[in-house]
Amino acid sequence: MQRHEVDGLRAFSRHGFRLVVAIGLTVAVAVAGSAAAGETLRVGSKRFTESYILGEVIAGTARRTAAVNVEHRPGLGNTAILFEALRSGAIDLYPDYAGTVALELLGLDHVPPVEELNRHLARHGLAAGVVLGFGNSYALATRENPDAHPGLTRISDLADFQDIHIGLSAEFLHRRDGWPALRRVYGLEKLAPTALEHGLAYAALAGGRVDVIDVYTTDARLTRSDVRVLEDDRNFFPDYRALLVYRTDLPQRFPGIWAKLLELEGSISDAAMRQMNAAVELAGQPYAVVAAQWLDAPGKTGPAVRPSLQSVLFGEDLPRLALQHVLLVCASLLLGVAVGVPLGMLAQRVPQAGPPVLALSGLLQTVPSLALLAFLVAALDRIGALPAILALFLYSLLPIVRGTETALAGVGRSMRDAARALGFDDRQRMLLIELPLARPGILAGIKTAAVINVGTATVAAFIGAGGFGERIVAGLAVNDHNLLLAGAIPAAALALLVEWGFRCLDRSWPQALGTGPEAR
């Protein structure tokens, strides 16, 4: 028995060494990526169709100008996340709107000229410029149906309809120049709108689930006859000219690219932007394809060919997204094992430590994923993989800690007494007896954490961490079911693969740890 216990200790040490090496390699990859990112132009975009397209136009212009690595981080959430990413240096520029910058980011009470905007942005090391030529304001829209809410043609008419259902995008619902101010100006305090993803709003309106939605004036779907824009009869919505917001050192770091970006000034008309939006939302063309077509022939887009699910699923971005997703899951899981298993051991061995450790790990599990990501982005002052890995690591703690504590508690007292009779000290008893016997329960907790992380990692796309969630976020932006499935299917397949991998590991480890039948 003693020989097999020593073999078990050696096997356990080998696996522990591999864990340390894996963590080291993960850190090395992260450091290498950070070093390489210094020579990369990073373009960001928000989580709706037009911003995706403009991000691709900017990135495509840069790629055609110089031999510089250009990275587009699409769908980075709302305005606040983009602004923090820009200030921290996680991105170098992104497309926005004059009204949003002035009213939402800078807290001004009006939309000044670009020169005045830049005086305020300079305090943050930022600037705005390259006015693209079109304006995209907010508006409210309803169904073009004379039998549905007759007399509803202006925003002020909403005050006469107390039972009307209003669905607003989350950002418009809370931004200073959105619903809070609109409600005061038009006296709509009695109305209670609900949050609705912008990409799903038109389908909800057509299906009668809501009666009024917020829209962008360049939305492709506004060209259809079944939607009517309500008149802004009190001139509430300010000027939303599209422009670029960038770090002030960008022209010096990339002078050639900046010179080419200046040529975009005034180059995109309202009609051209609406046409590009239609190519994505109505024809189902990829953002990058639409942007490339416009760059090749400004003002024109190619034929409307909606790609099949198979072509989107096995698109050229699949290897990149798969690698990003796997790295997020593996890095967070390794950290979870390195921290969670010792915490589970502590919770089982020290009675006073058990309740607070388990309560804290359980509390972390109850925090909404987007809230935790937002907190980590603010705390770390950066977006991307690091806050996503830390969030997934925190979510992995509860199943690992609970699994380890429960498995160790299930080791029979007779086994511990036998180990004491053989002269084992506490450390030897834990490494040679308790951990090998508790292995199935510990492994089950790790497996649960891994499967949970595969699914939760899709949310990391909201802060630019990539992975299959990038497709899901883009699909939500345009209500594209094929794009949604192209992200959901490989994520589900990866979860099944992880489950199968742990089953194989569960069958092979008894022999490796000297606890199988042939070791007795």
Question: Could you read off the pLDDT of 332-365 as tens digits, one per residue?
Answer: 999 999 999 999 988 888 888 888 998 999 888 8
Q: Exposure pattern of 57-79 as b/e (b: 16+ CB <10 Å)?
A: bbbbbbbebeeeebebbbbbbbb
- The domain made up of 38-135+240-306 has a fold known as D-Maltodextrin-Binding Protein; domain 2 (3.40.190)
In this predicted structure, what is the pLDDT of residue 225? 63
In this predicted structure, what is the pLDDT of residue 88? 84
Summarize pLDDT for 453-462 with one digit per residue, the tens.
999 999 888 8
Pairing of strands 242-247, 126-129: antiparallel
In this predicted structure, what is the pLDDT of residue 252? 93
Sign of the CA dihedral 66, 69, 72, 78? negative
Summarize pLDDT for 5-54 with one digit per residue, the tens.
434 434 444 444 444 444 444 444 444 444 444 478 999 998 888 999 99
Task: Tell me which architecture the domain covering 2-33+316-519 has in CATH.
Answer: Orthogonal Bundle (1.10)
Helical H segments across 367-434, by residue range? 369-380, 385-409, 413-421, 426-429
Pairing of strands 212-216, 166-168: parallel
Per the DSSP assignment, residues forming a β-bridge with 40 are 69
Listed by start position, the domains of the chain span 2-33+316-519, 38-135+240-306, 138-229
* 436 φ/ψ angles, rounded to the nearest 5 degrees: -60, -40
DSSP secondary structure code for residue 222 in this structure: G
pTM as predicted: 0.70
Summarize pLDDT for 57-104 with one digit per residue, the tens.
999 999 988 778 898 988 887 788 888 888 888 899 999 999 889 988
Share of residues in the chain with pLDDT > 90 (%): 37
Which one of 169-173, 181-185, 202-206 scores highest in mean pLDDT? 181-185
Which one of 150-154, 198-202, 224-228, 337-341 scores highest in mean pLDDT? 337-341
**What's the one-letter identity of residue 310?**
Q
- Looking at every residue in the chain, the average pLDDT score rounds to 82
- HSE-CB at 44 with a 13 A cutoff on CA atoms is 33
pLDDT > 70? residue 275: yes
Torsion, CA 344, CA 346, CA 350, CA 351, rounded to 10: -30
Q: Are 210 and 204 in contact (CB under 8 A)?
A: yes
2-33+316-519 shares its CATH topology with 138-229: no
Statement: 138-229 belongs to CATH 3.40.190.120: yes
Q: How far apart are the first and last CA of the chain?
A: 7
Summarize pLDDT for 378-403 with one digit per residue, the tens.
788 777 889 999 999 999 999 999 99
In this predicted structure, what is the pLDDT of residue 417? 65
